[in-house]
Amino acid sequence: MHISSHCKEKIIKEKTLLVDVIFPTETEEGIQYELDELASLSDTAGAEVFGRITQRRIKADAAFFIGKGKAQSIVNKAKELRCNIILFNDELSPTHVKNLQKLAGDSIKIMDRTGIILDIFSQHAKTKESRKQVELAKLEYMLPRLTRQWTHLERQMGGIGTRGGPGETQIEIDRRLIRNQITKLKSELEKISRQRLTQNQNRKNAYKIALVGYTNAGKSTLLKVLTGEDVYVENQLFATLDTTTRRLDLAKELPVLLSDTVGFIHKLPHNLVASFRSTLSEVKDADLLLKVVDCSSLNFKNHLDTISKVMINITSRQIDYILVFNKIDNLRDVKQLNILKKLYPDAIFISAQKELRINNLLNKIIFKATQNNIETKILIPYEKSGFLDQIYSQINVIERKEGEFGFEFKISGKPERIDRLLSLLKKK
Ligand X SMILES: Nc1nc2c(ncn2[C@@H]2O[C@H](COP(=O)(O)OP(=O)(O)OP(=O)(O)O)[C@@H](O)[C@H]2O)c(=O)[nH]1
280 part of the interface to ligand X, by CB under 6 A: no
Residue from 83, 206, 225, 239 in contact with Mg ion (CB under 5 A): 239
Q: Binding pattern to Mg ion, positions 178-217, x when CB under 5 A?
A: ----------------------------------------
Per CB under 6 A, the segment of 57-65, 326-334, 362-370, 386-394 that binds ligand X is 326-334
Rounded Cα distance between 261 and 229, Å, is 14
Beta strands in 99-206 (DSSP E): 109-112
152: left (phi over 0), alpha (psi -120 to 50) or beta: left
Is the CB of 110 or the CB of 292 nearer to ligand X?
292
Nearer to ligand X, 38 or 74 (CB): 38
Strand 207-213 with 288-294, pairing: parallel
Position 329 contacts ligand X (CB under 6 A): yes
Residue 104 in contact with residue 75, Cβ under 8 Å?
Answer: yes
Complex with Mg ion: residue 181 or 240, whichever CB lies closer: 240
413 binds ligand X (CB under 6 A): no
Size of the site for ligand X (CB under 6 A): 24
Helices 219-227 and 358-370 pack at an angle, to 10 degrees, of 80
CB 394 within 8 A of CB 354: no
Q: Is 45 in the site for Mg ion (CB under 5 A)?
A: no
Query: Given the complex with ligand X, which of 233 and 254 has the nearer CB atom?
Result: 233
Q: Per rule CB under 6 A, is residue 114 in the interface with ligand X?
A: no
3-state SS, residue 244: strand
What is the contact mask toward ligand X in residues 215 to 234, using x (rule: CB under 6 A)? xxxxxxx-----------xx
**Distances in Å between the alpha carbon of 221 and those of 28, 240, 246?**
33, 11, 13
Q: Does 42 sit near ligand X (CB under 6 A)?
A: no
Of the two residues 3 and 254, which places its CB atom closer to ligand X in the complex?
3
**How far apart are CB 386 and ligand X at their closest, in Å?**
43
Question: Cβ distance 96 to 64 under 8 Å?
Answer: yes
The stretch among 56-64, 190-198, 236-244, 357-365 that binds Mg ion (CB under 5 A) is 236-244
Alpha carbon separation from 19 to 29, 71, 265, 424 (Å, rounded):
15, 10, 18, 57
Give yes or no for a contact between 299 and 200, defined as CB atoms under 8 angstroms apart: no
Closest CA to 177 of 208, 143, 147: 143
Q: By rule CB under 6 A, what string of x and - marks binding of each residue 169-208 to ligand X?
A: ----------------------------------------
**Helix, coil or strand: residue 397:** strand
Question: Which whole-number Å values give the CA distances from 404 to 12, 377, 380, 388, in the listed order?
Answer: 79, 15, 11, 17
Distance of closest approach, residue 121 Cβ to ligand X, in angstroms: 11
Residue of 236, 240, 351, 396 that binds Mg ion (CB under 5 A): 240
Give the residue with the Cβ less far from ligand X, 268 or 411.
268
Using the minimum distance from each CB to Mg ion, give the nearer residue, 213 or 413: 213
CA-CA distance, 318 to 301, in Å (whole number)? 20
Determine, following the binding rule CB under 5 A, whether residue 236 of this chain makes contact with Mg ion: no
279 binds Mg ion (CB under 5 A): no
Spatial contact of 268 and 238, defined as CB atoms under 8 Å apart: no
Binding residues for ligand X, rule: CB under 6 A, are: 213, 215-221, 233-235, 237-240, 263, 326-327, 329-330, 351-354
